[in-house]
């Protein structure tokens, strides 16, 4: 242990030296001896002695008592060593809080004991001072407000945080009642007081009520939370109280944010259009939102008793859903079929994840269920429409191809059929029956080829609608050979045609297509073979609803089969475009819709009766405008071909063979002919000879334009010349709608000699 350092302040040098020697003898270290107060202060600052032995009377201007005050400020203990002990001197000395007072002369032991007591007392005070400093620093640095009171609830201490919150300084608040400075109100603004008296009585720590606000001196309200604890002395007696409080604005904000978050979550949970669920690990429902109840048509008390697995149509999908969640933590867009209590099966999309407890163990599942039933139907409908569009495009492409083939083939047939007519006219008086027979056979073949071309045009729907009074029986008989080839050997056709059948105003080509479609439909309904019956009869239309009956008389065409029949629930759909019960690639769904369209165009009516397993009957009613019968007997007399009287006919045709045939027939029938193969050449002829031309017979489609262009020719507009247009094809390019709407005479290729001359004679 180091020796204590002593500074001796004594104005008598001999006494000072004597004291020094005594101190050394006692084991102390003397850092110096000085006789003046100013030197003593300077020495103390440099040497930092542990104790100063101070004489009261010193040399210089300052006394020992005045210097002792300076030493007190330097925290150096002072022991007075003096010969003066009067009352005045003692009272002055007391003011400097000396650590001892020794009168001269002194004994060595007295000196030692006084020094040791001074050193001990100073060390204890130093430790206490350090603790007080630590306590003060802690109190001043703490983030909470601290107020201490005495037993009468008067404030004796406040830290800076308390000053900030209350608006009172320590000096202002000292001695004031607690409830004046620590002004508390509830959420209604009503004043409340901290229950400090209870703390004094019970000695227990108390807390404030919830929603308590501190009103500062400036009137600012701050939400606070606090506690009041008793202050006890060393005998455990209560001598005051300490209030520790803190601002809970941030906590309130957090609580409010949490509450708002919970409300938003609850709102999202309940108002979500998707079904939301929470289940246990086994799948039992714990919580569901209203959308889930609406989706599955359960009440809350019903669904809570169920397991999510109960809703799965395919239980293996539930196992797979669980497996993926447990191994990946979550599953997204898992498509399943789920049961609905009232509506049967729903198509749904599941998104789910696992739930864990505080220990990280699997606790259950949570997720969202989205109803995609309508989307699935919509997607299926889109695919159906896409397939229908593709089919329609295919049909259109085939139709364009068929129409194009028919156009070219009709030109060829016009040449073949026309020249065979001319050949038969030349050899009719020859005595060569074999030649005549061969020519007639070739002519019949050309007629069949023309029929085939007509069927192609029916298929492409490019055949013009030409209504005329027709014998429906004759149309059916003419189609029988083709129909037999169409339906195959395992289906037979039976006819029951009324002998007194009225003629009906119909378009022959469209009715042929109607019959063909109905026969094909009957064939497809009899995959194992069967019988189709075609029947005609006159009808007054009693079977037609009154609001749909427009005529008094109808021709009724019935087509029946003994096939599979049609289910009642789809009868209303069979005439819809693209509706079919056949498998992929086995039907277009257009056949019956075309039939329905043809009937509508004829102002007719169609009805269907069917019984599954027994067959189907289609009944078509076609109106009769004139109550006349068309004879089935062909005239035995040969028709007399009309002759011309030298009229000049301008024939405009780009196909050379057709042009030559037309010209030869007209010349042989006493007409004069001028030929042209383009519009440009024809207009040049018209310009030169328009006064002499009696008739223009023109193909519709020519290499340099449409024949109808001639209608705009200025010369023909001033002096119109009768025209006949002809074509083997009635597509858009041929302007058939214009020809039909304007009533322009028209010849459909291929045409016979008789048809050509009859049309020319009719127009002239």
Q: pLDDT tens digit string along 354-396?
A: 998 878 888 899 999 999 988 888 888 887 777 666 755 665 6
Residue 458, pLDDT score: 54
Residue 335, pLDDT score: 92
Rounded-to-10 torsion of CA 339, 343, 346, 350:
-60
* Tens-place pLDDT, residues 612-630: 888 889 999 999 977 655 5
C-alpha–C-alpha distance, residues 763 and 106, integer Å: 171
Residue 721, pLDDT score: 92
The first and second tokens of residue 7, run together, are: 């500074």
C-alpha–C-alpha distance, residues 125 and 137, integer Å: 18
Whether omega before 105 lies within 30 degrees of 0, making that bond cis, reads yes
Between CA 649 and CA 656, with CA 650 as vertex, the angle to 5 degrees is: 115
The first and second tokens of residue 691, run together, are: 């006064």
Q: What is the DSSP letter of 639?
A: P
Region for residue 706 given its phi and psi (left: phi exceeds 0; alpha: psi -120 to 50; beta: otherwise)? beta
Residue 52, pLDDT score: 92
Q: At what angle do helices 656-668 and 753-763 cross, to 10 degrees?
A: 70
Q: Which residues pair with 245 in a beta bridge?
A: 145, 226
C-alpha–C-alpha distance, residues 511 and 505, integer Å: 11
The answer to whether residues 737 and 715 touch, using CB atoms and an 8 Å cutoff, is: no
**How far lies 485's CA from each of 8, 215, 515, 519, in Å?**
149, 107, 14, 11
Q: What is the DSSP letter of 284?
A: B
Instruction: Give one DSSP letter per residue of 81-102, joined into a string.
Output: EES---HHHHHHHHTT--SEEE
pTM for the structure as a whole: 0.41
The answer to whether residues 745 and 696 touch, using CB atoms and an 8 Å cutoff, is: no
C-alpha–C-alpha distance, residues 755 and 745, integer Å: 13
The H or E element spanning position 16 is: helix 13-25
Q: CA nearest 485: which of 438, 448, 447? A: 448
Residue 400, pLDDT score: 63
Given a cut of 70, the residues of the chain with pLDDT beneath it are 1-2, 132, 135-141, 208-210, 249-255, 257, 261, 265, 343, 387-389, 391-407, 409, 428-431, 438, 445-466, 569-573, 575-591, 627-639, 729-734, 736
**How far lies 144's CA from each of 164, 218, 325, 378, 393, in Å?**
11, 20, 48, 66, 84
C-alpha–C-alpha distance, residues 590 and 598, integer Å: 12
Residue located via tokens 């013009």: 464
């Amino acid at each position: 242990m180091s020796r204590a350092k002593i500074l001796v302040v004594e104005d008598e040098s001999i006494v000072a030296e004597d004291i020094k020697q005594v101190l050394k003898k006692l084991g102390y270290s003397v850092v110096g001896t000085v006789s003046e107060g100013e030197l003593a202060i300077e020495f103390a600052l440099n040497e930092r002695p542990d104790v100063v032995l101070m004489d009261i009377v010193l040399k210089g201007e300052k006394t020992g008592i005045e210097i002792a005050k300076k030493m007190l400020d330097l925290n150096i203990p002072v022991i007075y060593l003096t010969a003066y002990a009067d009352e005045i001197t003692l009272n002055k000395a007391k003011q400097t809080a000396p650590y001892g007072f020794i009168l001269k002369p002194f004994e060595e032991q007295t000196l030692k004991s006084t020094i040791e007591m001074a050193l001990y007392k100073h060390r204890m005070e130093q430790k206490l001072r350090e603790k007080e400093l630590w306590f003060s620093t802690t109190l001043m640095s703490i983030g909470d407000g601290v107020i201490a009171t005495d037993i009468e609830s008067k404030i004796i201490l406040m830290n800076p945080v308390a000053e900030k919150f209350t608006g009172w300084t320590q000096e202002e608040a000292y001695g004031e009642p607690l409830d004046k400075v620590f002004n508390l109100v509830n959420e209604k603004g009503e004043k409340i007081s901290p229950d400090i008296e209870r703390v004094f009585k019970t000695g227990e720590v108390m807390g404030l009520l919830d929603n308590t606000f501190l009103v500062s001196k400036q009137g600012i309200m701050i939400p606070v939370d606090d506690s009041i604890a008793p202050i006890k002395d060393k005998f455990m007696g209560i001598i005051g109280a300490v209030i520790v409080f803190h601002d809970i604005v941030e906590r309130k904000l957090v609580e409010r944010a949490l509450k708002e978050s919970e409300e938003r979550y609850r709102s999202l949970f309940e108002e979500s259009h998707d079904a939301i669920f929470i289940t246990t690990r086994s799948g039992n429902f714990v919580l569901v939102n209203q959308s889930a109840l609406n989706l599955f048509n359960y009440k809350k008390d019903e669904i809570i008793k169920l397991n999510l697995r109960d809703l799965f149509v395919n239980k293996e999908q539930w196992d797979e859903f669980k497996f993926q969640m447990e191994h990946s933590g979550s599953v997204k867009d898992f498509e399943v079929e789920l049961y609905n209590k009232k509506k049967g099966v729903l198509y749904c999309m599941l998104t789910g994840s696992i739930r864990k407890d505080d220990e990280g163990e699997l606790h259950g599942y949570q997720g969202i269920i989205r109803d995609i039933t309508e989307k699935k139907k919509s997607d299926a409908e889109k695919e159906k429409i896409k397939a229908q569009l593709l089919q329609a495009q295919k049909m259109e492409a085939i139709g364009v191809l068929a129409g194009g083939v028919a156009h070219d083939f009709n030109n060829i047939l016009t040449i073949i059929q026309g020249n065979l007519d001319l050949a038969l006219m030349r050899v009719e008086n020859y005595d060569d029956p074999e030649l005549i027979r061969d020519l007639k056979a070739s002519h019949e073949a050309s007629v069949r080829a023309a029929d085939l071309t007509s069927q192609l045009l029916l298929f492409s729907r490019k055949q013009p609608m030409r209504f005329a009074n027709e014998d429906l029986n004759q149309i059916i008989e003419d189609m029988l050979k083709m129909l037999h080839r169409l339906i195959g050997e395992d289906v037979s056709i039976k006819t029951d045609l009324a002998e007194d059948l009225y003629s009906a105003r119909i378009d022959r080509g469209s009715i042929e297509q109607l019959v063909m479609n109905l026969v094909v439909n009957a064939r497809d309904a009899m995959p194992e073979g069967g019988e189709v019956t075609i029947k005609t009869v006159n009808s007054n239309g009693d079977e037609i609803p009154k609001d749909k009956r427009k005529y008094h008389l109808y021709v009724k065409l019935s087509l029946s089969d003994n096939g599979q029949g049609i289910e009642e629930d789809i009868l209303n759909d069979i005439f819809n475009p693209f509706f079919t019960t056949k498998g992929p690639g086995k039907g277009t769904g257009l056949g019956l819709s075309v039939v329905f369209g043809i009937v509508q165009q004829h102002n007719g009516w169609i009805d269907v009766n069917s019984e599954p397993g027994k067959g189907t009957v289609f009944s078509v009613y076609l109106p009769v405008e004139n109550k006349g019968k068309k004879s089935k007997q062909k005239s035995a007399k040969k028709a007399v071909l009309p002759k011309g009287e030298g009229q000049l006919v301008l024939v405009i045709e780009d196909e050379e063979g057709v042009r030559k045939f037309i010209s030869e027939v007209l010349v042989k029938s006493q007409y004069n002919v001028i030929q042209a193969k383009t519009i440009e050449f024809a207009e040049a002829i018209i310009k030169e000879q328009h006064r002499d031309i009696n008739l223009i017979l023109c193909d519709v489609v020519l290499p340099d334009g449409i024949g109808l262009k001639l209608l705009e020719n200025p010369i023909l507009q001033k002096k119109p010349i009768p025209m006949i247009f002809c074509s083997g094809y009635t597509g858009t390019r041929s302007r058939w709608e214009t020809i039909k709407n304007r009533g322009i005479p028209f010849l459909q290729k291929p045409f016979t000699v008789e048809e050509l001359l009859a049309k020319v004679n009719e127009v002239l």
